[in-house]
Structure 1
Amino acid sequence: MSDTTQPPFSVLFVDDEEISRNHFARAIRADYRVHVAQGADEAIDVLARHGAEIAVLVTDFRMPGRDGDDLLRQVAHEYPQIVRILVTAYADKDMLLQTVNTGDVFRILEKPLRADKVREALQLAIARYAERETRQQRLLAMSETLGFLAHELNTPLAAISLFARSVENDVAADYDPERQKDIGAAARAMLNNAQFCLTLLSSFWATVHKSGGQQSVAEAGGREVRATRLIASLLDTYPFAGAQRDWIEVDVQGDFVVRTMPNCVALVLSSLLSNALRALADVDAPSLRLEVVDGSEPEIRMRDNGGGIAPEIRARLLQDPVTTHAGNGGHGMGMIFCNRIMQSFGGRLGIESTPGEGTTVTMSFPGPRNRL
């Protein structure tokens, strides 16, 4: 069987009897990849090579040398993501309570094993494994969001500090009408940066409070969060400076539901909008087009007519800490965080850019068949 047609999950079966190992492998190999081991030490060797792909461990209780209890303890410590099933004979039942409590056993199967019972237990175990993987992805997304938030707040907070120091120096100096204008401009810049920070914090709080690592906002609230709604909310709350809001046009070619972590998506949108506005700062006729496109892979696109990005920088933006805004305090981590957040739920970012003509950043979302 080729790698492209093999079942997606692997099961490790541990038993000192060869006939039991062969029987188990024949019973389930049509549905799962099967690894076998004749004892605890061999099982640990198998896990060292294939632990990343193994979803379920099924082990006999009584084996020569280290028994199933000892193996379960070690696997629970070193491979906590693996769901563990214990196989035992009736005579062992009085010894199982401690094993269940300390080994975090998901199910207990009695000997002799019946194929239907094994398949049923494995189906439930795989569902538990998938649930844990989904939770881990959400925790990863939350961790990435924390880093993203820290990055996004760093620059505006540093700007606020700089402007505040400038105001302090100007106030201490002799009165000058021009200096008064500078003080007013600095105060407005501080307000805009502070509003941006508050917007990010509010959105992040909504992510933590409503999602809670258990459900998406759409699932928890029973309401669908559509892409156009996220964009409208962003444009209502973003701290635009001067005529920036007038640069923006929204083109809805097909709306769609953002089914996973919409508040994290809102943070990505805010960061991309901030980048686009900075790219348009010195353009004579700035234009920013936000496109919403439904399809097999729904997309939100941001098209600006800024100066564009050099090919050597564009090729590295999603992997390396490079930036086109070093003079404004940027340090290149924003696009990396945005891409990681999108990847955490099966999406991705794409960047197309022509120097002197503009840049298009595309947020691609998983289609119905590819969602978590």
Structure 2
Amino acid sequence: MSDTMQAPFSILFVDDDEMSRNHFARAIREDYHVRIARGADEAMAVLSEYAAEIAVLVTDFRMPERRGDDLLRQVAQEHPQIVRILVTAYADKDMLLQTVNTGDVFRILEKPLRVETVREVLRQATARYAERETRQQRLLAMDETLAFLAHELNTPLATISLFARAVETDVAEQYDPERQRAIGQAATSMQNNAQYCLTLISSFWAAVHQNGGQPFASGAGTRKVKATQLIATLLDTYPFTASQGDWIQVDVQGDFVVHSMPNCVALVLSSLLSNALRALDGATAPSLRFEVVDAPEPEIRIRDNGPGIAPEIKARLLQDPVTTYAGSGGHGMGMIFCNRIMQSLGGRLGIESTLGAGTTITMSFPRFRS
């Protein structure tokens, strides 16, 4: 591996002997960026600044002031994502067993270090680090998705509760035909919101089981899902009312595989569709178009010809809890969660809107090279 193709992380090597530090750095610098420290305290100082980039810690056992196993224990507590390797020239079996059994070390290397052995162990260690990072990203995405799902269910359920309370009050009173129509509209709204909740849960449940119970898995064993498939499933299952389904067109200029967590993407699509339909409510000639492109980068665009978003609201939508639907139970958190999910996938969310001319939401995905 050349200097320009180094792995995107560093190895921290800790040894009080300068010759050992120089030898280690020369042996692996073509493959990894190396940071060095002369002891445990200096190593912790390096980690305080560069922990985000350091994947593997390799430390000598016998050092002045603090031993390597003590450093490993501290790093295990404060930086558990870092893979830890101990180097020793001493056959202290009790110490080695204790270090291994407590989980403070990934491998133990014996001095004198052999270059090929070091390279192989580092290859295994960086693979372990990458696996941990992937798992952490999946857990983060899962947390975001659960929070997103809770929000998406909370808003319509809160609306149902408010309408139900209004219906209960009105039924107990004397009311005229106009009030009867209002009650009928409230009942319809309750039904639509409840159906939306059920559809969202049902779609997520079905996606989980179609992926063998592993909704956030990735790799060779994962079913490949294309952007057009996600849109088609959404349009087939979404609880459209009246003629809403007739407003929608799908324009495919280039399809692509959604490599990362398609279930999360499906939830984002569902939320964005709901927002667009709400914006089009009452429009003279409502139109909503899904566009799928794969160049210059993979994107899904959702265009509507609704009233548009005021500039002061648009500027804050992806970062602050603002909404134009506060009166109907909106919290302004949906776009924030959508944006966070897209960011956790390595993509982004974009908004273009002009008052009186409509809004376009763009879901941009990372380009995966085969």
- Fold conserved between structures, TM > 0.5: yes
Q: Distance in 1 between matches of 2:329 and 2:97?
A: 59
Q: 1:304 Cα shift?
A: 0.4
- Are the equivalent residues in 1 in contact too, given 2:157–2:193 (CA < 8 A)? yes
Give the equivalent residue in structure 2 for 1:20.
20
**How far does the alpha carbon of each residue in 1:284-334 deviate from its partner, in whole angstroms, 9 at most, with x for none?**
111000111123521111000011122232222212222232232222211
Q: Distance in 1 between matches of 2:360 and 2:338?
A: 15
- Out of 128-137 and 169-178, give the one that drifted further: 169-178
Closer, same or farther: CA 312–219 of 1 in aligned 2, 3 Å: farther
Give the equivalent residue in structure 1 for 2:72.
72
Q: 1:161 Cα shift?
A: 0.8
Give the equivalent residue in structure 2 for 1:114.
114
- Are the equivalent residues in 2 in contact too, given 1:81–1:132 (CA < 8 A)? yes
Give the equivalent residue in structure 1 for 2:332.
332
Q: 1:145 Cα shift?
A: 1.1
Q: Distance in 2 between matches of 1:175 and 1:321?
A: 38
Match of 2:217 among 215, 218, 232: 215
Percent of residue pairs bearing the same amino acid type: 77
Pairing of 1:61-210 with structure 2 (within 5 A): 61-89=61-89, 91-174=91-174, 176-206=176-206, 210=211
* SS of corresponding position for 1:300: strand
Q: 1:94 Cα shift?
A: 4.7
* SS of corresponding position for 1:368: coil
- Equivalent residue letter for 1:367: R
Q: Distance in 2 between matches of 1:203 and 1:135?
A: 24
**How far does the alpha carbon of each residue in 1:133-189 deviate from its partner, in whole angstroms, 9 at most, with x for none?**
111111111111122112222221111011111221232223654444333322221
- Are the equivalent residues in 2 in contact too, given 1:144–1:340 (CA < 8 A)? yes
Give the equivalent residue in structure 2 for 1:10.
10
- Indicate yes or no: 2:321 matched with 1:321: yes
- Out of 79-88 and 247-256, give the one that drifted further: 247-256
- Aligned-residue CA RMSD (Å): 2.2
Q: 1:27 Cα shift?
A: 1.1
- Equivalent residue letter for 2:56: V
Q: Distance in 2 between matches of 1:214 and 1:170?
A: 46
Give the equivalent residue in structure 2 for 1:303.
303
- Are the equivalent residues in 2 in contact too, given 1:296–1:367 (CA < 8 A)? no
- Are the equivalent residues in 1 in contact too, given 2:203–2:237 (CA < 8 A)? no
- Are the equivalent residues in 2 in contact too, given 1:72–1:103 (CA < 8 A)? no
- How many correspondences in the alignment? 366
- Are the equivalent residues in 1 in contact too, given 2:234–2:270 (CA < 8 A)? yes
Q: Distance in 2 between matches of 1:108 and 1:77?
A: 19
Q: Distance in 2 between matches of 1:34 and 1:13?
A: 7
Closer, same or farther: CA 70–203 of 1 in aligned 2, 3 Å: farther
**How far does the alpha carbon of each residue in 1:106-149 deviate from its partner, in whole angstroms, 9 at most, with x for none?**
11111101111111111111111111111111111111112211
Closer, same or farther: CA 262–360 of 1 in aligned 2, 3 Å: same
Q: Distance in 2 between matches of 1:58 and 1:306?
A: 59
Q: 1:85 Cα shift?
A: 0.8
- Are the equivalent residues in 2 in contact too, given 1:206–1:263 (CA < 8 A)? no
